Amino acid sequence: MKYTQFSTLALNSNLIKSTLSLGYDKLTSIQAETLPEILKGYDVIGQGVTGSGKTAAFSLGILNKLDAAKFKIQALVLCPTRELADQVAGEIRKLGCMIHNVKVLTLCGGSAFGPQKGSLAHGAHIIVGTPGRILDHLDKNNLSFDSIDTLVLDEADRMLDMGFQTSLDAIIEYLPSDRQTLLFSATFDANISSIATKIMRKPKIIKAASVIEEQGVNQNFYLIKNETSRFNALKLILFCYLPKSTIVFCETKKEVQAVANNLIDLGLSASPLHGDLDQKDRDQTLLCFSNKSLSILVATDLAARGIDVSSLSAVFNYKLARDVNSHIHRIGRTGRAGSSGNIYTLYTEREGHKITLLEKHFDQVIIPKELPSISVLLDAPFQPQMKTIQIDGGKKQKLRAGDIVGALTSDGTIKATKIGDINIKDNWSYVAIKFDVYPIALTKLSTGKLKGRNFRVRLISNNK
């Protein structure tokens, strides 16, 4: 039987309701092929790039057999980065919104250990986290995995690339042997095969259609003369095509910072993302990029793992990825949810061997395009349509999104349609506002009251 819709699957009725409420219509390729096997209880290896829908596939599998009345940890999802773990936990919460009292807890490095220990003391149904921090809690006896019946390794290839093999092996020792194991990865190489052999039972191996095959991504290659002409090529393409939401991939932190600084000097909305940023700056940069108040993110492969941004219009390979698998990870970030996307790759003749590998993988001859005319630089640089305002109050101050919307729209000078994403954190809140009304919004929130009190408010500067 060929499955095309969630309602055709053997899913609990509350989960079908939640998929409908979220606007999930048709199953993606990887969902249609993996979910029936997951729901039957089989171990599954699903190969699919970022944006293929694999998170919803394993999340629904976990939630479908979850016993919410049994307040013990029943599922563990391991991710390579905090950002991906936050994304996965959010997806599970959204899909489980129709099931009463499902508690999902995120355990990652970069957050204080003590509060995590306190949250664990109150119990949870599903744990999502990074291997290092999960192992820290296990070693300190803060976690019990005796009731776990599902283990998920998300982006398993990246976890192995990042050196988590030893931590994974140690965590497996704490898990019941009688469990379902789901492994999702963008690639399937010898390392993945090796770990699957050790921890899985006769897994069903499923390969989804690639982002190129399924989602209409256009790859564009540009042969440049030398390294000195690389940034000029990037500048010409950006000014010509004016992508509204773009990731520029670089090799090193130093290169990321230099490229970001040069783009900012041109008047573009850009910000770097690399390992030297502290977690608060990193989180704030990603939030602004996600809510469309930042147009260009310049990042290393490592820093960009786990980024979940809808409607990403373009990806730039400032330098070619180190291998084909990394290239696939990069391009999987655009052309999502049925939208089109463009990849712009710059290379020199010295990188010809990498081009040959890509030609072999995609079974095509790569013909470089002509760079746009220098005349495109006469146009004004694209600016994002949103601005982000930070309010120094959040969940702990009992602030809700409705309070912020009410304060902004109360006198009719700002319409609700001018308000974008609102993110409420523990002690801060962020609201995206249309560019044309952000000064009014800033004044309203600075001089007015929320929950009967004044909060300090400031405009977030994206260019760092």
Tens of pLDDT, residue by residue over 312-326, are 789 999 999 888 878
Domain assignment present for 322: yes
Whether 425 and 350 share a structural domain: no
Q: How many domains does the chain have?
A: 3
pLDDT at residue 211 greater than cutoff 60: no
pLDDT at residue 210 greater than cutoff 80: no
Strand order in the sheet with 180-185: 104-107, 126-129, 75-78, 150-154, 180-185, 44-47, 204-207
pLDDT confidence tier of residue 1, bands split at 50, 70 and 90: low
Domain assignment present for 136: yes
Whether 219 and 297 share a structural domain: yes
The answer for residues whose C-beta is within 8 angstroms of residue 29's C-beta and 6 or more apart is 48, 52, 53, 208, 209, 214
Domain assignment present for 20: yes
Distance in angstroms (rounded) separating the CA atoms of residues 266 and 279: 27
Closest of 122, 120, 125 to residue 149, by C-alpha: 125
pLDDT at residue 338 greater than cutoff 60: no
The answer for residues whose C-beta is within 8 angstroms of residue 185's C-beta and 6 or more apart is 45, 46, 47, 153, 155, 156, 157, 192
Whether 200 and 220 share a structural domain: no
Strand order in the sheet with 457-459: 419-424, 429-434, 386-391, 457-459
pLDDT (average), residues 294-323? 81
Long-range contacts of 191-196 (CB under 8 A, 24+ apart): 191/157, 191/160, 192/45, 192/156, 192/157, 192/160, 195/153, 195/156, 195/160, 195/165, 195/168, 196/45
Whether 361 and 422 share a structural domain: no
Q: Which of 43-47, 50-54, 144-148, 374-378 has the lowest mean pLDDT?
A: 50-54
Whether 187 and 80 share a structural domain: yes
Closest of 89, 393, 429, 430 to residue 288, by C-alpha: 430
pLDDT at residue 174 greater than cutoff 60: yes
Looking at per-residue pLDDT, the higher value among 215 and 39 belongs to 39
Domain assignment present for 408: yes
Phi, psi angle pair for 414, to nearest 5°:
-125, 125
Whether 201 and 235 share a structural domain: no
Q: Which of 182, 207, 232 is the last residue of a domain?
A: 207
Report yes or no: 144 and 92 within 8 Å, Cβ to Cβ.
no
* Residue 171, both tokens: 């965590």
Domain assignment present for 365: yes
| Tally of CB atoms within 10 A around 159 | 25
The answer for residues whose C-beta is within 8 angstroms of residue 437's C-beta and 6 or more apart is 413, 414, 418
Residue numbers of the domain that contains 371: 214-378
| pTM reported for the whole predicted model | 0.72
Whether 95 and 62 share a structural domain: yes
Domain assignment present for 414: yes
- Could you list the beta-strand ranges (E) of 318-403: 341-347, 386-391
pLDDT at residue 214 greater than cutoff 50: no
Please give the helix or strand (H or E) that residue 289 lies within, else none.
helix 279-290
Q: Which residues of 405-432 are buried (b: 16+ CB within 10 A; e: fewer)?
A: eebbbeeeebeeebbbbbbbbeebbbbb
Within a 13 Å sphere around the CA of 113, how many CA atoms are in the beta-carbon half? Answer: 11
Domain assignment present for 1: no
pLDDT (average), residues 155-163? 82
The secondary structure of 297-335 as a DSSP string is EEEEHHHHTT---TT--EEEESS--SSHHHHHHHHTTSS
In the chain, the amino acid numbered 444 is K
Whether 251 and 142 share a structural domain: no
Give the model's pLDDT for residue 339.
60
Whether 12 and 42 share a structural domain: yes
> What are the pLDDT digits (tens) for 66-124?
999 898 999 999 998 888 898 899 999 999 998 888 999 999 987 888 889 998 988 89
Domain assignment present for 464: no
> What are the pLDDT digits (tens) for 409-463?
988 899 999 999 999 988 899 999 999 999 999 999 999 888 888 999 999 976 5
Report yes or no: 76 and 131 within 8 Å, Cβ to Cβ.
no
If you count them, how many residues does the chain have?
464
Whether 330 and 228 share a structural domain: yes
Q: Which of 151, 176, 207 is the last residue of a domain?
A: 207
Q: Which of 172, 207, 242 is the last residue of a domain?
A: 207
Whether 146 and 88 share a structural domain: yes
CATH number, position 390: 3.30.70.330
pLDDT at residue 401 greater than cutoff 90: yes
Whether 285 and 318 share a structural domain: yes
CATH number, position 117: 3.40.50.300
Closest of 171, 146, 169 to residue 74, by C-alpha: 146
| Mean residue pLDDT across the chain | 88
